Amino acid sequence: MVPAPSLAVSIRWNFWPCCMPPLTIDVRKADDARDVVHRAVQALAEGKLVVFPTETVYGVGALGLNEEAVSRLRAVKSRKGGHPLPLAIGGAEEALDYAPNVSPLFHRLARRCWPGPVTLVVDASHPQSLVKQLPSTVQQAVAPHQTVGLRVPGHQITLDILKMVAGPVVLTSANRGGELEAKTAQEALKSLGDDVALILDDGPSRFGAPSSVVRVREDDFEVLREGVVPNRALKRLANMMVLFVCTGNTCRSPMAEWIFRKLAAKRLGCGIGEIEDNGLVVRSAGIAAGVGGSVSPEVLEVLGDEDMDLESHETQPVTETLVRNADVIYTMTPSHRQAIVTQWPDAAERTQVLAVNGSSVVDPIGGSSERYRQCANQIETELATRIDELNL
């Protein structure tokens, strides 16, 4: 358990005069990062403005439950009505508290972009949205158009603060209206001066550019501000990704990958090599696969006469990145599924055994070409059902 802040720290903040210059802490030299986190959490709880390091530019934040603090933040930024301020939250799972009915596209972008330099703007009109529980003036500050911008910064100490503070943090760039964004703590201090109580200094920002702001709807998105992540990259990140998993990634999963590519191309009305341009990414991997191996010769014999580039296939193991990015994971056996959900429990809802009845696709390795052909036929039969479920 993280210890509570010391009495000395509490007294120091309780008697902090508003006219005093801000306290700057170099987090790189801090003896205990937990003490820095507690200081920031206490400052926010007491209605003070805090400057945070992020991977984009430095941000200044106020506790979203404190309408006086948010009003001061708006004054510092010269923000008028109708120009919303974003909310910083501690993780993608918290997004559902503010937008309970977000689309699969939102979940996809959140998994792939957070923590990171992307602000996702979503509908906040749901009656159970926590936005409705914020003070009325704060609601006007963050959701004047019944949408709210959510951000999970890619900076560890800032994330630790967001996970500990009671409520969301209204977080915006640490500069006054009309000035350039602050890329260092010194630039934030020069711009904001005595209007903030605490500045956390972690050196120059990693990217030195603002986050990309993306309005996410049910089936599409709009880039409201192109920042660190360019539009073309966001389009790739928005693609549906289907991942097939077996043991060695030499037989069953590559066959499933390429048979699915063929079926999907037909469904999308494009060539096999064009499905990514039509919003679909297909990959395969193995629970115990090496890197850079080839498919079994029998796979080439069975499927090589079709329009499939199987000779270019290189085996790869299942990784955290593949699992996180995949919208749907189909495994060849129940044991493959169990291995994935044991290591990555968050993927349980997205991971299914390929066979609709939950049985295994029998491993053909070491068998005859006919056995491989039977395996391919079984895979294609199951995929014919599964592809309907995906609504391509």
Separation of CA 62 from chain center: 23
Region 114-129 average pLDDT: 96
Average pLDDT of the chain to the nearest whole number:
92
Q: How confident is the model at residue 383 (pLDDT cuts 50, 70, 90)?
A: very high
Q: How confident is the model at residue 8 (pLDDT cuts 50, 70, 90)?
A: very low
Which CATH number applies to 7-236: 3.90.870.10, 1.10.8.10, 3.90.550.10, 3.40.50.300? 3.90.870.10
Region 364-388 average pLDDT: 95
Q: Considering only CA atoms, which of 338, 372, 380, 374 is closest in space to residue 355?
A: 380
**Does pTM surpass 0.75?**
yes
Candidate list 35, 97, 195, 363, residue with the active-site label: 363
pLDDT of residue 17: 47
Q: Give, in order, the Cα–Cα distances in Å from 383 to each of 214, 295, 322, 372.
A: 33, 20, 20, 16
Region 83-108 average pLDDT: 94
What does the pLDDT look like over 240-281, one tens digit per residue?
999 999 999 999 999 999 999 999 999 999 999 899 999 999
Q: Are 87 and 170 in contact (CB under 8 A)?
A: yes
What does the pLDDT look like over 169-185, one tens digit per residue?
999 999 998 899 999 99
Candidate list 246, 251, 327, 350, residue with the active-site label: 246
Residue 86, token pair as written in the block:
């974003």
Region 108-137 average pLDDT: 96
| Distance in angstroms (rounded) separating the CA atoms of residues 347 and 328 | 9
What does the pLDDT look like over 29-52, one tens digit per residue?
999 999 999 999 999 999 999 999
| Distance in angstroms (rounded) separating the CA atoms of residues 51 and 57 | 11
Q: Is 202 a catalytic residue?
A: no
- Domain segments of the chain: what residues? 7-236, 239-387
| Distance in angstroms (rounded) separating the CA atoms of residues 189 and 203 | 13
Residue 54, token pair as written in the block:
């992020």
First to last CA, the chain: 47
pLDDT of residue 111: 94
- In the chain, pLDDT over 90 holds for what percent of residues? 88
Q: In sequence order, which residues have a C-beta less than 8 Å from that of residue 24 and are 6 or more positions away?
A: 185, 189, 198, 199, 200, 201
Q: In sequence order, which residues have a C-beta less than 8 Å from that of residue 236 and are 6 or more positions away?
A: 276, 281
pLDDT of residue 305: 65
Q: How confident is the model at residue 81 (pLDDT cuts 50, 70, 90)?
A: low
Q: Is 246 a catalytic residue?
A: yes
Residue 111 one-letter amino acid: R
The CATH number assigned to the domain with range 239-387 reads 3.40.50.2300
Q: Considering only CA atoms, which of 316, 267, 263, 307 is closest in space to residue 287?
A: 316
Whether the predicted pLDDT of 380 surpasses 80: yes
Candidate list 252, 261, 350, 386, residue with the active-site label: 252
| Distance in angstroms (rounded) separating the CA atoms of residues 108 and 299 | 32
pLDDT of residue 10: 34
Q: Considering only CA atoms, which of 114, 122, 123, 189 is closest in space to residue 158?
A: 114
Q: Is 363 a catalytic residue?
A: yes
Q: How confident is the model at residue 6 (pLDDT cuts 50, 70, 90)?
A: very low
| Distance in angstroms (rounded) separating the CA atoms of residues 355 and 184 | 54
Place of tokens 């910083």: 88
Cα angle, residue 243 at apex, residues 232 and 119 outer, rounded to 5°? 35
Q: Give, in order, the Cα–Cα distances in Å from 193 to each of 44, 49, 54, 173, 200.
A: 17, 11, 19, 14, 14
